[in-house]
Structure 1
């Protein structure tokens, strides 16, 4: 079912909610579900928060109304605030504990809001009960859907020519490092460059509400505008706080641009949120401007460490596994949803659309235009690389390392 349809049902429900009593809400939801057809009940349940049982009862009431021409018997309508409380209200840690269970084995497409887990809802409910939660498998399914997960059959995805033999061990190492940093109240960020976007009146995939028969006209070709060029959004996702930062670059996507984006996140968001921080953990892809083989990336991080005094630890995902990076499915996917169907006519529009992206789970993003010039092809000598105060981890030191302040530099 199209996510756009769920968004529209949610909007209508929020607009009409003040007018509904218990029965009219049930009947309205049932009507929406029937109009949507297959999958409509599940979609309306996610969009409105009503249970599937309630919507099915509404459908029975509608059938009775049309068959007998008699309105369904008025049931006792509960007063506002009565009834069962939302599960988050009496079990506030359930949602976080559930996501912690599925997160280490999660995979997803970086341009799609869909994620899937290889654990069944029955197994997850049992694991949550061991932790002291009282929850059934249907409620687990509802919470997973709300978090953007869906249970699917096993399927291989293309992740390069061959999987690295230590791939799973590296994933476990990253999870262990992230947990250790979070337990010590040290910041953990996920970083990456979102795909480059054409700036101008070009077609953008997706649909948006427009006057009937009057779609917004865009260019019939996809040749970059020589004046506007492309936008390079580099993102920083704070895993502890569920907040993000995006620098929208107008020049080349280089390591200096990547580290400048991290610097802006720290100066605008990180420093105030973590005033006592002494360390920073960065999880990043294995290639691109923040690749583990890129010398300029390490030199630029050394400058950042010297400026802030932070000990910077870096964990790279193995080659070909970038879609496992949290920023892809926790931030970039929602940005793509937010601007679908809208021509990205200027850098300022891109910044505004990124900054207005939010989710029901509290995600917020700040964005800023970066008009600096970043030179390509900067050569880093062996001497400059040796000057980096870098310590390799015992396990795959090329992927896992830390850079401390260089007192001599």
Structure 2
């Protein structure tokens, strides 16, 4: 029977109090007596409590059991062999130089790119002239504050500047829906699983010497049952899960079909008075914010159910923060750990049997449907959707309405095809909600840059002509963008409101003209110390810009420059 931590703690306190009053022999006999009382495991427990070797404790036990006189010997203070670190002052620095070559030692250390086990460290130190054993190396490392540690997954790579703001926005949306009694679900596709006698991570209890036999390689058997694609819906309020196990492809149609099944079987019964549905999803995959088919399928679901479906996506690179990951999927993985998923029925039953002490229940069912890939969704299809993009990051946050979109009052901008379309009026694009600065500040910025832009324009044309101007200034073809428009389009571009193609549509030019304007104006803004902060609004079509301006309210904008 092992000795509990409580008993070891009591021994450590006892030894700490009494050892200063005892000599070496008395300490050894006392540890031996305590070890004999504890029985099996007592020697190790006493050694750890006293911070000595087990050999010392075992020697004390042997002396007590022998009963000979005198019971052991007493060395004078300071007797015995000296520690290796005391005999060799260069041992400790040499060891630290091997363990941390970048900070304390030679970057070209032979152990830089190898596993630094205590045996390999001891061998290298011995080669350098420091005779030391692996156990001594381990003791020295522990005294220096080292321990065996694994990597911890915490670094998320480059973070989006609006990452935390998006999390706060999602939290506000979820609180608003839940406070009004509306459903809030978290959705995602779990890792695809191979169906068959393949090894599954983890261990489970089995008779000794009788492990489950699985394949040596995880190559998919084309003649076998294939893969399983679990798509999960986690109801945050009710703490319930719904998983559709697909057998075909992980597409947007499959994702929305799983949500539809959840709503028909559970959602509409759990929330009979619901008029809205909030979905939190990852930024990528079949339910990503760039996936057009996802929005098309959700629009069809909204029309079927009569719900206003709001979607809030996690910022890029933060999928592990989605609720479904650690409240549903993690428990499913623990439930079937070590068990080969030999059939779809095994997968469905294992998921359905998942529970937690906090009351989680899960329903699972097989979806044998076929979901085609490569379905194209055009710009006109997206424009016709009854979709409202939120003012804060409309690319991440949007609502699909069950009613058709009213486009009678929305101004449309013709798409350039072949020849550029006529240049639309750009007065509305000077709105402070888009530029991030009051109109007087924008006019002042244009006045500051006009002379420099004209000078750059003439210098460029001089290089093109190869000589001085022949015709009078102002003769010939007119610029497609005025100086004010070049400044405005650069400000809008730096605000990251949309793609270059969208801005080209708004100004009635092609993308090459817009790119040249940005390359001219952007360095001048840097010279003037003018920083244009990015906007949280995102647009895809001119109709989105028009709808945004129609709903905008005049606000006080602090000048950016």
CA contact (8 A) 2:386 2:404 kept: no
1:32 positional shift:
7.8
CA distance 1:33–1:200, shift in 2 (3 Å)? farther
1:376 positional shift:
0.5
2:199 to 200, 203, 207: 203
Give the distance between the partners of 2:398 and 2:246, measured in 1 at CA.
Answer: 27
Post-superposition Cα deviations, 1:52-99, rounded to whole Å, max 9, x if no partner, equal xxxxxxxxxxx99x8399xxxxxxxxxxxxxxxxxxxxxxxxxxxxxx
Post-superposition Cα deviations, 1:153-193, rounded to whole Å, max 9, x if no partner, equal xx772324x10000000000001110110000100000000
State the partner residue of 1:46: none
3-state DSSP of counterpart to 1:329: helix
1:34 positional shift:
3.4
- 1:169 counterpart = 2:169: no
Q: Which has the higher strand share?
A: 1
Give the distance between the partners of 1:311 and 1:346, measured in 2 at CA.
Answer: 38
2:37 to 37, 43, 67: 67
1:209 positional shift:
1.0
Post-superposition Cα deviations, 1:88-146, rounded to whole Å, max 9, x if no partner, equal xxxxxxxxxxxxxxxxxxxxxxxxxxxxxxxxxxxxxxxxxxxxxxxxxxxxxxxxxxx
Post-superposition Cα deviations, 1:336-359, rounded to whole Å, max 9, x if no partner, equal 000000000011100000000000
- 1:261 counterpart = 2:231: no
State the partner residue of 2:307: 310
Question: Structure 1: which 4+ aligned runs deviate by more than 6 Å?
Answer: none
1:358 to 355, 360, 377: 355
Post-superposition Cα deviations, 1:205-253, rounded to whole Å, max 9, x if no partner, equal 1111111111110111101121311111000000000000000000000
State the partner residue of 2:371: 374
1:289 positional shift:
0.1
Give the distance between the partners of 1:216 and 1:67, measured in 2 at CA.
Answer: 42
Give the distance between the partners of 1:319 and 1:261, measured in 2 at CA.
Answer: 23
1:345 to 339, 342, 345: 342
Give the distance between the partners of 1:230 and 1:191, measured in 2 at CA.
Answer: 20
CA contact (8 A) 2:386 2:405 kept: no
1:187 to 183, 186, 195: 183
Q: Larger relative contact order (C-alpha < 8 A, sep ≥ 6)? A: 1
3-state DSSP of counterpart to 2:166: helix
State the partner residue of 1:287: 284
State the partner residue of 2:525: none
1:326 positional shift:
0.3
- 1:272 counterpart = 2:269: yes
Q: TM-score, normalised by structure 1?
A: 0.62
3-state DSSP of counterpart to 1:218: coil
Residue correspondences, number: 269
- 1:228 counterpart = 2:225: yes
CA contact (8 A) 1:231 1:249 kept: yes
Name stretches of at least 5 consecutive residues in structure 2 with no aligned partner: 9-32, 40-151, 407-561
CA contact (8 A) 1:388 1:406 kept: no
CA distance 1:385–1:32, shift in 2 (3 Å)? farther
- 1:213 counterpart = 2:209: yes
CA contact (8 A) 1:164 1:318 kept: yes
Post-superposition Cα deviations, 1:318-344, rounded to whole Å, max 9, x if no partner, equal 111000000000000000000000000
Q: 1:101-112 maps to which residues of 2 (within 5 A)?
A: none
- 1:398 counterpart = 2:388: no
- 1:324 counterpart = 2:321: yes
CA contact (8 A) 2:197 2:340 kept: yes
State the partner residue of 1:27: none
CA contact (8 A) 2:166 2:314 kept: yes
3-state DSSP of counterpart to 2:4: helix
Give the distance between the partners of 2:405 and 2:320, measured in 1 at CA.
Answer: 38
Give the distance between the partners of 1:276 and 1:32, measured in 2 at CA.
Answer: 58
Q: TM-score, normalised by structure 2?
A: 0.46
CA contact (8 A) 1:302 1:406 kept: no
RMSD: 2.5
Give the distance between the partners of 2:281 and 2:338, measured in 1 at CA.
Answer: 29
Give the distance between the partners of 1:390 and 1:321, measured in 2 at CA.
Answer: 25
